[in-house]
Amino acid sequence: MKPVEVLQKLSDGFGVAGFEDEVRETIAGLVSPLVDEVRTDALGNLFAIRRGAATKGKARTLMLDAHMDEVGFMVKWIDERGYLRFAPIGGWDERIVPGHRVVVQTRDGAKRHGVIGTAPPHILSPEEQKKPIPIDAMFVDVGATSKEEAAAMGIRIGDPFTIHYSFVELRDGYVTGKAFDDRAGCTVLIETARRLAERALAVDVAFAFVFGEEVGLRGARTAAYQLDPDVALAIEGTIGADMPGVAPESQPVRLGQGPAISVADRSIVVSRRMVAALETVAEGASIPYQYKLPTYGGTDAGAIHLSRGGVLSGVISVPCRYIHSPISTLRLDDLEATIRLTGAFVEALPDALF
């Protein structure tokens, strides 16, 4: 499978934070043939372990992190007429939530379709038309006409749902789909595992596909504790903001300029040693890169670097536009350059850092 096909499969998969099972199973199937060991933990992280040859005594361990979860919603009430009321899971801008089609995952894993309905402009006052609708006041219409009919469709309080748009290539090398934050990172990890599968490594590599980043870096924290790595790199799909109306100094990253190396975000100030190693590796392999402007967003590295006695950690990101909305976009050349940088970094260890 080519990286674009992996991205498509993962983007179209269901994985609201706390409900990553479907995506996790897909990833496990893809990485299992490429590594020495695959295991999951009690809360739903997935680890794929590649053992390197220990050169001097104990091998160093590199943790490569990407989060499986995506932002979504949860059913919080089903009213007498069968409408679903809901709460956000992860960070949403309420202005862009209404007027979309959704997919609800029921307790038995079945998918039900619905729409986030809105009152038509004809019946709204000019005042009402200007105001964003609070999420509390929104509803999903699944076609049920009573609480009982919704129950008969298998829908219950606590069921998660996403706004779902299928993956599409807009033009050569430029694609759109949901949840590129962070299925782009998951794709980078899977493809890195594939390219390194036949190569001897000087470090152990733990590919960590973690849960619950969007609700507070939860999976990364427990993953880092278990893996006890010497160094970690979080791979993200992050805030591409080169678009009309945004000044250059407010664009955290730009599309078409390669992976973004983080120097600091809201969750970590990256060690200069780490930033320098990534710059050196990228330049040595002629991989274009940019900096993610400080200090936007938080990443799994925020949790990982504070694990145990502290872990030397960095972040690189695939630039993605429109994240935390129903439609993200990315350029495949940025995805490819991020895969190359990740692989080159693995092969430069341990010398690049230790």
Q: Which stretch binds Zn ion (CB under 5 A): 194-202, 236-244, 266-274, 334-342?
A: 236-244
Is the torsion defined by CA of 341, 346, 349, 353 positive or negative?
positive
State the number of binding residues for Zn ion (CB under 5 A).
3
272 burial (CB, 10 Å; 0-12 / 13-18 / 19+) is: exposed
Name which of 70, 26, 102 is nearest 181 in CA terms: 70
- Is the Cβ–Cβ distance between 326 and 178 less than 8 Å? yes
CB 255 within 8 A of CB 242: yes
Residue 65 is a binding residue for Zn ion (CB under 5 A): no
Least Å distance between CB 78 and Zn ion?
30
Stretch near Zn ion under the rule CB under 5 A, chosen from 25-33, 84-92, 113-121, 230-238: 230-238
Could you tell me which residues come within 8 angstroms of residue 232 by beta carbon, excluding any fewer than 6 positions away? 62, 63, 64, 65, 224, 301, 304, 305, 311, 312, 313, 314
Closer by beta carbon to Zn ion, 61 or else 267 = 267
Q: Which two tokens stand for residue 279?
A: 């710059």
The nearer residue to Zn ion, 219 or 229, going by C-beta atoms, is 219
65 or 236, CB closer to Zn ion? 236
Of all residues in the chain, what percent are helix, strand and coil, respectively (each to 5)?
30, 30, 40
Q: By C-beta, is 159 or 181 nearer to Zn ion? A: 181
Query: Least distance from C-beta 239 to Zn ion, angstroms?
Result: 10
**Residues with Cβ < 8 Å from 139, sequence gap 6 or more?**
79, 83, 84, 85, 86, 116, 117
Residues in region 120-179 near Zn ion by CB under 5 A:
none
Find the DSSP H helices in 74-217.
Answer: 126-130, 147-152, 180-196
Q: How far is the CB of 347 from Zn ion (least distance, A)?
A: 25
Catalytic residue among 20, 213, 214, 236: 213
24 vs 112, beta carbon nearer Zn ion: 24
Q: Is 182 an interacting residue with respect to Zn ion (CB under 5 A)?
A: yes
**Least distance from C-beta 67 to Zn ion, angstroms?**
6
Amino acid found at 300:
D
Phi first, then psi: give them for residue 8, nearest 5 degrees. Answer: -60, -45
N- to C-terminal Cα separation, the chain: 35
Q: Measured between alpha carbons, how far is 327 from 339 in angstroms, rounded to an integer?
A: 22
Minimum gap (Å) between residue 65 Cβ and Zn ion: 10
Judged by CB, which is closer to Zn ion: 29, or 91? Answer: 91
- Site for Zn ion (CB under 5 A): which residue of 69, 159, 181, 334? 181
**230 is a contact residue toward Zn ion (CB under 5 A):** no
Ramachandran angles phi, psi of 269, nearest 5°: -105, 115
Name the residue among 277, 266, 191, 200 with its Cα closest to residue 232. 277
Active site residue 213: yes
**Cβ of residue 336: shortest distance to Zn ion, in angstroms?**
20
Whose Cβ is closer to Zn ion: residue 114's or residue 219's? 219
CA angle centred on 238, ends 231 and 188, rounded to 5°: 55
Q: How far is the CB of 16 from Zn ion (least distance, A)?
A: 13
List contacts with Zn ion (CB under 5 A). Answer: 181-182, 236
Would you name the residues annotated as active-site residues? 213
